A and B are shown apart, each in its own frame.
Chain A
């Protein structure tokens, strides 16, 4: 599938070729790409172009990073941030998926809830922070509230879309064969929507990481976002970049994990939403 797509437009320039070797033009170019990223960073800092002199060099970042990973602080930070993201995003899954299934399935339910949700949707998550602080008992919960809001709407909308794109004939067939609404829900609505739900979950997880970092920077005691902000204030600039890298790796790992799990759990998803998934998550 992926190969077929690679060749869609390429035929204008190149004849299709079979690339089986490990070291081919593609991998060399990729290596050049990544190397040039780090090299240009190092050179810009080394020759102090414009204000790059203020930024840490790759060597400093590496050194500080290794020292940081050896301390307990890193592990507590990483654990705190991961926990907040997971709590917020899982809460969003638990609320948004059933809600989305009902909205997509039942017109009456959709009419009664969806207009309000549409009005709330454009409000960006950080704007909820004052209310979250007011509403929730602990600081921890108000930080986790931001990833919750961030993840909620992508998951909800993907779930609704997932139900809406189910072929109407499945419902008709199920009803002809005399299934109850409960059976239709478990055997038509849920399996049909799962592929789209899973890509919503992956998106929600990605945005959730962003939300947790916002929350931690503005009001936090622990966590990678807080550590980045603290390193800025304490003028330990290499640690800022280390924090960014740690967040990037953890965020990527969680999205990959979700996608891996969903591919395993929903074998029929590949066929249906490969293009949908790629278009949204990338």
Chain B
């Protein structure tokens, strides 16, 4: 009896060790250790880099983080990103569907977009400042603009790439035309639509940081730039880390929603 429980225990341990103590995972942890090790060695050993904060300084700065200030900045940045992003979806998604679905609308709208699209969103900053009164609406316009084109283009592309056999099969099964979009084409285009949204989210974070650096109106970009101007570099690095974390949270959120909308993929 005792022997048996022991064997069960050892089996359990073996399973655990198989799951958590394999070489791949150890190496992945080693990756971070190596990175931090290299970082500290370079900063300490090479005189040229002596201004770069060491990992230890960054870690210690974590305890002096002005939490309320940082939280307010995070919320500001989040608000700007999400407002622009959702505006981009609300306006860009229907346009993408329309020009993906109808060739006339595509020819009517697409060439004008092609003229505007190569201009990077950042280059719109001066015109945005002229046109919009409030700084908040200026930044939100920029994030919207950054999100708009990836969403439109990927929605359009996703719909154009739907396998022709799917709507044909649906038609031969007698699906009404009204339902074709909702039941067949949009679900089939969803993977690429979410690729566009992921791209859009990445670009909105780039834009928000750049705009906040120039605007002096709070937000994490401003936090990083402010700490740069007062030469508090450990907090610059911390700010970068926080921005990265926020961006990662947003893309995880999109993946989560995207998995829900492309759940038909699991069947195959």
Q: Which residues of A contact B214 (CB under 8 A)?
A: 217-218
Q: Which residues of B contact A252 (CB under 8 A)?
A: 118
Q: Which residues of B contact A124 (CB under 8 A)?
A: 202, 205-206, 208-210, 243, 247
Chain B's closest residue to A213 (CB) is B122
Q: Is the CB of B122 within 8 A of A225?
A: yes
Q: Is the CB of B161 within 8 A of A5?
A: yes
Asked if A93 lies at the interface with its beta carbon under 8 angstroms from chain B, I say no
Shortest CB distance B32–A (Å): 6
Asked if A26 lies at the interface with its beta carbon under 8 angstroms from chain B, I say yes
CB contact between B244 and one of A10, A51, A114, A122 (< 8 Å): that residue:
A122
Q: Which residues of A contact B171 (CB under 8 A)?
A: 12
Q: State which of B22-30, B61-69, B82-90, B255-263 sits at the interface with chain A.
A: B22-30
Bound state CA distance, A225 and B124, in angstroms? 10
Q: Is the CB of A34 within 8 A of B112?
A: yes
Bound state CA distance, A143 and B261, in angstroms? 40
Asked if A36 lies at the interface with its beta carbon under 8 angstroms from chain B, I say yes
Q: Is the CB of A135 within 8 A of B241?
A: no
Contact with A along B225-244 (1 / 0, CB 8 A): 10110000100110111011
Q: Is the CB of A116 within 8 A of B35?
A: yes
Shortest CB distance A199–B (Å): 13
Q: Is the CB of A9 within 8 A of B167?
A: yes
Asked if A130 lies at the interface with its beta carbon under 8 angstroms from chain B, I say yes
Asked if B140 lies at the interface with its beta carbon under 8 angstroms from chain A, I say no
Shortest CB distance A4–B (Å): 9
Q: Is the CB of B107 within 8 A of A131?
A: no
Asked if A22 lies at the interface with its beta carbon under 8 angstroms from chain B, I say no
CB contact between B115 and one of A37, A128, A247 (< 8 Å): that residue:
A37
Bound state CA distance, A223 and B202, in angstroms? 25
Q: What is the size, in residues, of chain B's interface with A at 8 Å between Cβ atoms? A: 85
Chain A's closest residue to B27 (CB) is A111
Bound state CA distance, A279 and B193, in angstroms? 10
**Are A9 and B101 CB-contacts (below 8 A) given A210-B206, A279-B195?**
yes
**Are A111 and B28 CB-contacts (below 8 A) given A30-B111, A247-B120?**
yes
Chain B contact residues: helix, strand, loop or mixed: helix
Q: Is the CB of B111 within 8 A of A33?
A: yes
Asked if B182 lies at the interface with its beta carbon under 8 angstroms from chain A, I say no
Q: Is the CB of B221 within 8 A of A8?
A: no
Q: What is the size, in residues, of chain A's interface with B at 8 Å between Cβ atoms? A: 77
Bound state CA distance, A187 and B154, in angstroms? 33
**Are A210 and B164 CB-contacts (below 8 A) given A37-B112, A232-B126, A282-B154?**
no
Q: State which of A190-198, A236-244, A265-273 sits at the interface with chain B.
A: A236-244
Q: Is the CB of A55 within 8 A of B131?
A: yes
Asked if A168 lies at the interface with its beta carbon under 8 angstroms from chain B, I say no
Q: Which residues of A contact B98 (CB under 8 A)?
A: none
**Are A122 and B248 CB-contacts (below 8 A) given A5-B161, A55-B131, A247-B120?**
yes
Q: Is the CB of A209 within 8 A of B51?
A: no
B contact set with A: CB distance below 8 Å: 23-24, 27-28, 30-32, 34-35, 49, 51-52, 100-104, 107-112, 115-116, 118-127, 129-133, 153-154, 156-164, 167, 171, 177, 180, 185, 192, 195, 202, 205-206, 208-210, 213-214, 220-221, 224-225, 227-228, 233, 236-237, 239-241, 243-248, 251
A contact set with B: CB distance below 8 Å: 5-14, 25-26, 29-34, 36-37, 51-52, 54-55, 107-108, 111-116, 119-131, 133-135, 150, 209-210, 213-214, 217-218, 224-225, 228-229, 231-232, 237, 240-241, 243-245, 247-249, 251-252, 275, 278-280, 282
The 7 nearest A-B residue pairs measured at CB:
A130-B228, A111-B27, A122-B247, A29-B107, A232-B126, A210-B120, A123-B244
